Amino acid sequence: MSNAQLRPFFIDTDTASDDAVALVMALRHPAVDVVGIGIVAGNVPLDMGVQNALYTVEMCGVNVPVYAGCSEPLECDLRTAQMVHGADGMGDIGLSLQGRVAHTQHAVDALIDASHRFAGELELVTLGPLTNIATALRRDPGLASRIKRCVVMGAVYDHIGNVTPVAEFNMWCDPMAVQVVLDSGMMPEFVGWDRSRFDAVIDSKMAADIRSIGTPLAEFAIDIQRAVIEFCRTETKIDGFDLPDPIAMAHALDVSVALEVRELFLEVETRPGPTEGMVVMDVLGVLHRPANAKVVTRASNARFIEMLREAVR
């Protein structure tokens, strides 16, 4: 398949251990051309996210530009998730995560340029805080109309959070950016942490099975989850580890992964306090507001595992 026939993807990520697996899934997909990877501060500080993405691209043996983006949220202080993913974001397993060089263009400019180059065709997948996307929309509101589809890993349909009782990490990192995206008219498709918790859990047996595929990518995908496994055991009470960004990427790559999708009105709590970063979903439609997002409410674990295995084989 020539590049002209491939689906153009731009991925925006705060590269840590689950983001890296999602990148592998996209970079290895035969029908997708990843035209750029933008990095945002989130799971780890910006420079670390850049190095982790460059390492992952190198592991996949492809030549895809990586662009450094925003190093701080729009209005609040940066809050990372290194207590989840390890100090280096990649499980602290001793990977060589320094010395690689990103493209000189800023991720926001790269996204805007790609949206013109592939107007009406570009698919945007966000795996981290939405700072880069909101910044691009503020700079160029027409961006929303040039994006064919925007898949967001973020929020929770059941309103059970993983960083506060009600907020999911990516949305909590930069709530104001979430509201900018919701107000843009882009109709983003949210794949929340609830889908990861229910449909993308890898227990120890499955992890061993995937790792036994024996390729460098299979070993990489499992080994970098080392820190996450401990966090899941102690904090989120998951047996094994879950893969939020890969289940979102699976939906972006193959719509059959989603078994149920709802169109809902969403808004985010931007004020500091116990509900900061909560994406409130009007599940019953009591506000009588038009839907501004799609939400994946059921997903296929079997198809997800099949895609994960295909990517690392």
Average of per-residue pLDDT across 238-258: 96
Q: Are 13 and 49 in contact (CB under 8 A)?
A: yes
Q: What is the pLDDT of residues 109-156, one digit of tens each?
A: 999 999 999 999 999 999 999 999 999 999 999 999 999 999 999 999
Average of per-residue pLDDT across 258-280: 97
Q: What is the pLDDT of residues 148-185, one digit of tens each?
A: 999 999 999 999 999 999 999 999 999 999 999 999 99
Q: Are 263 and 293 in contact (CB under 8 A)?
A: yes
Average of per-residue pLDDT across 249-262: 98
When pLDDT is cut at 50, 70 and 90, the band that residue 237 belongs to is confident
Tokens describing residue 61: 């043996």
When pLDDT is cut at 50, 70 and 90, the band that residue 58 belongs to is very high
Residue 45 reports pLDDT greater than 60 = yes
The proportion of the chain whose per-residue pLDDT surpasses 70, expressed as a percent, equals 99
pLDDT value for 157: 97
What domains does the chain contain, in order, with CATH numbers?
3-312 (3.90.245.10)
The proportion of the chain whose per-residue pLDDT surpasses 90, expressed as a percent, equals 95
pLDDT value for 236: 82
Mean pLDDT score across all residues of the chain: 96
- 181 to each of 42, 72, 135, 152, how far by Cα in Å? 17, 17, 10, 10
Residue 82 reports pLDDT greater than 60 = yes
- As a whole number of angstroms, the distance between CA 140 and CA 278 comes to 26
pLDDT value for 284: 97
Q: Are 151 and 191 in contact (CB under 8 A)?
A: yes
- 79 to each of 149, 256, 265, how far by Cα in Å? 28, 34, 27
SS (H, E, C) the chain: CCHHHCEEEEEEECCCHHHHHHHHHHHCCCCEEEEEEEECCCCCCHHHHHHHHHHHHHHHCCCCCEEECCCCCCCCCCCCCHHHHCCCCCCCCCCCCCCCCCECCCHHHHHHHHHHHCCCCEEEEECCCCHHHHHHHHHCCCHHHHEEEEEEECCCCCCCCCCCCCCCHHHHHCHHHHHHHHCCCCCCEEECHHHHHHHCEECHHHHHHHHCCCCHHHHHHHHCCHHHHHHHHHHHCCCCEECHHHHHHHHHHCHHHEEEEEEECEEECCCCCCCCCCEEECCCCCCCCCCCEEEEEEECHHHHHHHHHHHHC
Side-chain half-sphere CA neighbours of 176 within 13 A? 13
Among 71-75, 188-192, 228-232, which is the least confidently predicted range? 228-232
When pLDDT is cut at 50, 70 and 90, the band that residue 2 belongs to is low
pLDDT value for 1: 59
Q: What is the pLDDT of residues 191-236, one digit of tens each?
A: 999 999 999 999 999 999 999 999 999 999 999 999 999 889 888 8
Q: Residue 262 is which amino acid? A: R
Q: Which of 62, 111, 263, 191 is nearest to 53 (CA)?
A: 62
Average of per-residue pLDDT across 267-285: 96
- As a whole number of angstroms, the distance between CA 146 and CA 141 comes to 10
**How far is the first Cα of the chain from the last one, in angstroms, to the nearest whole number?**
20
